[in-house]
Structure 1
Amino acid sequence: MDFMTLALPQEPAGGIAGWAADLVDTLGGPGAGLAIALENLFPPLPSEVILPLTGFAAGQGVITLFSALFWTTLGSVVGAAALYGIGVAFGRERMHALWARLPLVKASDLERTEAWFARHGTKAVLLGRMVPIFRSLISVPAGVERMPLPIFLALTTLGSLVWNSVLVLAGYWLGDQWDTVGTYVGVLSKVVLVLALAAVAAYVIVRVRSCNRTPVGAAARHRRRD
């Protein structure tokens, strides 16, 4: 019985799990690293499937546990570095130009965000690597703000190693039940997404109300001057 059959005993060898299992079966550790690098660039690819599956492969002797952790962490860093490069290429000037065209936002909002990132960017990059959805996206503002590359790579490596280790080891210990990891992490991802959408909605509501009040306040001040 081959690894693909062991990994996917009750479903056809297709989908994300089948694709990842085929990469690991064919390329070993580098295949897992490639899958995770692509997951960083395309967040819809779920690390909560790829990483536990890689841990299961290590438990079956397809690759070693060290290889699983090394290559998936390297893949995370490579993918994050590519997104960092996109942020650098986009740059602050383009970011400000784009921001100026967006409705309901002010230049001061972006300036405050930049100031926050200057103070807390290291924590954001480190902890962001352990938060579903944001673990990929956090690399772009780091590039836009030109966080020193050695610091970015060090923080990304550490944060990725922690996240990858938890999911890879879970798959390693759970054996053929590795896919249950995805269920729990998937719920966490949905919670994070809902909270992010709620925050955006609250921001828009506050901005709309502020814009609606501004003309009234300006008219009142004008009448007082008259």
Structure 2
Amino acid sequence: MTGAADTDLPGGWEAAAAEYVLGLLAEDEVSAFERRLAQDRDLEQDVAAWQEYFATLTAPIEDVAAPPQVLRRLEAQLFGRARRSLVGQIMPYLLGAVTAGAIAWTVNVSGLLGFDDDPDLWADLETPSRGLVLLAHYAPSSQTFMVRRDAGDYPEGRSLEIWMIPEAGDTPVSIGLVAQDGLTEIPVSDEIAAQLPGAGIAISDEPEGGSPTGQATGPVISLGQMAPRDE
């Protein structure tokens, strides 16, 4: 690949090729890069290599619909002002291999953009008497609360309801129901998302369909606290 000794772009031409593929170069840098690209065969190969590399990162990811707030938050954090959609810049170079949700996942998980102001949160939720083992996970990048059931049976004819207990209060707020099969995925509101760091998470055993009162009516069978997890 091309060297960095003769470049006037930060990080060298090879680094600039990666930023060009991701659509992260400023307008004046794009012009300079494309002038060089038109006459540098090695730089063309760098661009092609980065296109293939970024496509392989997201190829195994199942297509999902990205909540609109994901793109708005990315644009605000990256640029601080309205500009051409990040999806619109990246998609041509990923050859249509991923959706907006997969792009958001890649940027967040792979650390390409290098910010981690909002870490993922986790809570272990276990009920030894029932052999029930649950893992709660909140992903700020998609504003999604998830619960994975690793062991134990779902109670027949009943529902397991998820409650958030804010750190600054003691009134539980229902997040939703644990799915009977597969991974539970629940998009949460901005209000709930803001309260999740440090919040308690409780699981209660409720009538089928959830609590009829808006508060826990059955026994609380598990309790944990949302917190970042060491990598």
TM-score range, shorter chain: under 0.3
Using the size of structure 1 for normalisation, the TM-score is 0.25
Using the size of structure 2 for normalisation, the TM-score is 0.24
- From the two aligned structures, give the one with the greater helix fraction: 1
- From the two aligned structures, give the one with the greater strand fraction: 2
